[in-house]
Amino acid sequence: MAERKIRILMAKPGLDGHDRGVKVVARALRDAGFEVIYTGLHQTPEMIANAAVQEGVDAVGLSVLSGAHNTLFPAVIEALKQKGASSVTVFGGGIIPEEDMTFLRNKGVMAVFTPGTSTEEIISFVRGNIKSVH
Amino acid sequence: MSDLADKVLRGDVLATARLIRDLDDGIDGAIAELKVLYPQTGKAEVIGVTGAPGVGKSTLVSRMIENFRARGKKVGVIAVDPTSPFSGGAVLGDRIRMQNHFNDPGVFIRSMATRGHLGGLSSSAYEIIKVLDAFGSEVILVETVGVGQDEVEIAGAAQTTVVVLTPGMGDEIQNLKAGILEIADVLVVNKADREGAQVTVQGLRRLLEMGGFDRKGWHPPICLTVGTDGTGIPDLIKAVDQHREFWNRQKAQPGFEHKRREEDFLRILQGQAVNKLIVSLRRNGCLEEIVARITRGESDPYSESEKVLKLGDYARNE
């Protein structure tokens, strides 16, 4: 049996237009040997869930710098669930205050990375926690 | 057993995505599903879009989706990007240009990485075309990786191959003589609002006039487009439609279908035969022995290869 290649969708939900961070992470994950699908700015949770399903990904990484993470992260998780893809791991990053972490984890976000996180840290999270859901 | 295949035939998106993943990952059992799907394939119109990196393939594909959707056709898209030869990873970014169609249930977009396959497609692309066909996509747009001169595989997978160029490639057109230009059923000069578009068209026209090989009476039209604002897209679609009609006439010729099926079969046989041989050689430890013999100078790779093929027993031990 051949080995599964891990596929990750990197997405920017909502209205903020800052995509430098998500591109750096996408590039780092590529260099770590993962297949990364990047869909660009201004995605609605439904667009992200549709892309995740069609692309057959194992995880979705969300980047939000606008402060709307408490709305957007759970909305993506809900959209995935509605499309029958609740086994897809969701993680995220952005300017996220400490006090929101527990809320997001309870909503099903597996990990949250804040500014200053090294790409190595994110890679080792993916290596250790993302298994093929297929 | 063929649970997945049944769901694909019923138009289930999750099952389709999953079967594609299994085929791409080379999972045992995926081929069994394809056997079920095979009789239901061959209905879709497959259109290839190829050209150098940055000529605007993804943007054109997005425009073409728009057009086919306006006609009420279900559209499938396979967009191939390169895999890093060093890390094995990839960033697949063609979807960015196709955002308008993310929430359209009549459009299924799948990004693929080449995973080391040369030729402009992924090695699973042929099979994934069949899956999308069985899933009910009436038009399947296949966007290759950004290609150079010799990645002409798309021509074997698609009924109509669209080759995209941009102005300012004048001298390079000479280099395109053999290979990629030959596979063009439709030529597109995209970014036609830029300087030099007419020069590029003239250059292409001259090349086509030189002829060279038998196109069976088809003269590739040259379309001028601006993908970003949609200029020229109706002409492009018209050219594709005309080629489709031409292709249908060819298809009715004796031997045409036979040749196509033969190519498909031989490609599958080649892939499976080589895989099976290598897997069983590894499993039996024979590979180690063979390489050791060659390293010690007791044999050479040509003789060993002949021996393996003669025995064939390696494969039968499966």
Per-residue pLDDT of chain A (134 residues; tens, 9 = 90+): 457 999 999 999 998 888 999 999 999 999 999 999 999 899 999 999 999 999 999 999 999 999 999 999 999 999 999 999 999 999 999 999 999 999 999 999 999 999 999 999 999 999 999 988 76
In this structure, which amino acid lies at residue B305? S
Q: Do A31 and B84 touch (CB under 8 A)?
A: yes
Q: How many C-beta atoms surround the C-beta of residue B225 within 10 A?
A: 25
Element (DSSP H or E) covering residue A8? strand A7-11
Q: Helix, strand, or coil here: A12?
A: coil
Mean pLDDT throughout B238-263?
93
**Beta-bridge partner residues of A21:** none
Strands A59-64 and B107-113, sheet pairing: unpaired
Which pLDDT score, from 0 to 100, does residue B280 have?
Answer: 84
Strands A89-94 and A59-64, sheet pairing: parallel
Domain B41-253 bears CATH identifier 3.40.50.300: yes
φ, ψ of residue A76 in degrees (nearest 5): -65, -45
Which pLDDT score, from 0 to 100, does residue B105 have?
Answer: 96
What tokens does A90 get? 């969701």
Element (DSSP H or E) covering residue A78? helix A69-82
What tokens does B71 get? 């006609």
Which of B20, B89, B99 has the CB atom closest to A40's CB atom?
Answer: B99
Residue identified by tokens 């606008």 is A66
Q: Do B115 and A38 touch (CB under 8 A)?
A: no
Comparing B49-53, B128-132, B153-157, the range with the smallest average pLDDT is B153-157
φ, ψ of residue B289 in degrees (nearest 5): -60, -45
Residue identified by tokens 């993943």 is B21
Spell out which residues of chain B touch residue A31, defining contact as CB-CB under 8 Å. 84, 86-87, 89
pLDDT higher at B237 or B29: B237
Q: How far is CA B101 from CA A35, B35, B68, B95, B309, in A?
A: 22, 31, 12, 9, 49
Q: Do B14 and A31 touch (CB under 8 A)?
A: no
Query: In chain B, what are the domain boundaries?
Result: 1-34, 41-253, 258-316
Nearest C-alpha neighbor of B133 from the set B2, B4, B9: B9
Round to whole Å and give the CA distance between B311 and B115. Answer: 31
Which pLDDT score, from 0 to 100, does residue B155 have?
Answer: 84
Strands (E), B38-194: 45-51, 75-81, 90-92, 107-113, 139-143, 160-165, 186-189
For domain A7-129, which architecture applies?
3-Layer(aba) Sandwich (3.40)
Query: In chain A, what are the domain boundaries?
Result: 7-129
Spell out which residues of chain B touch residue A83, defining contact as CB-CB under 8 Å. 13-14
The 10s digit of each residue's pLDDT in B163-173 is: 999 998 765 56
Which pLDDT score, from 0 to 100, does residue B22 have?
Answer: 95
Task: Write the DSSP symbol of residue B96.
Answer: G
Q: How far is CA A133 from CA A4, A57, A126, A129, B145, in A?
A: 10, 8, 13, 11, 27
Does the pLDDT of residue B316 top 60, yes or no?
A: no
**Chain-centre distance of CA A134, in angstroms?**
18
Dihedral over Cα of B304, B309, B311, B315: its sign: positive
Q: Do A39 and B18 touch (CB under 8 A)?
A: no
Please say whether the beta carbons of B100 and B62 come within 8 A: yes
Q: Do A30 and B89 touch (CB under 8 A)?
A: yes
Which of A32, A50, A85 has the CB atom closest to B87's CB atom?
Answer: A32
Residue identified by tokens 């060819």 is B250
Q: How far is CA B20 from CA A5, A132, A133, B17, B78, in A?
A: 13, 14, 14, 5, 11
Q: Quote the radius of gyration of chain A (alpha carbons, Å).
A: 13
Which of B13, B18, B113 has the CB atom closest to A35's CB atom?
Answer: B113
Interface A-B, measured as beta-carbon pairs within 8 A, has a size of 97
Ramachandran quadrant class, A74 (left: phi over 0; alpha: psi -120 to 50; beta: rest): alpha
Q: Do A7 and B21 touch (CB under 8 A)?
A: yes
Does the pLDDT of residue B16 top 80, yes or no?
A: yes
Round to whole Å and give the CA distance between B109 and B141. Answer: 9
Round to whole Å and give the CA distance between B265 and A84. Answer: 36
Ramachandran quadrant class, A62 (left: phi over 0; alpha: psi -120 to 50; beta: rest): beta
Which pLDDT score, from 0 to 100, does residue A1 have?
Answer: 45
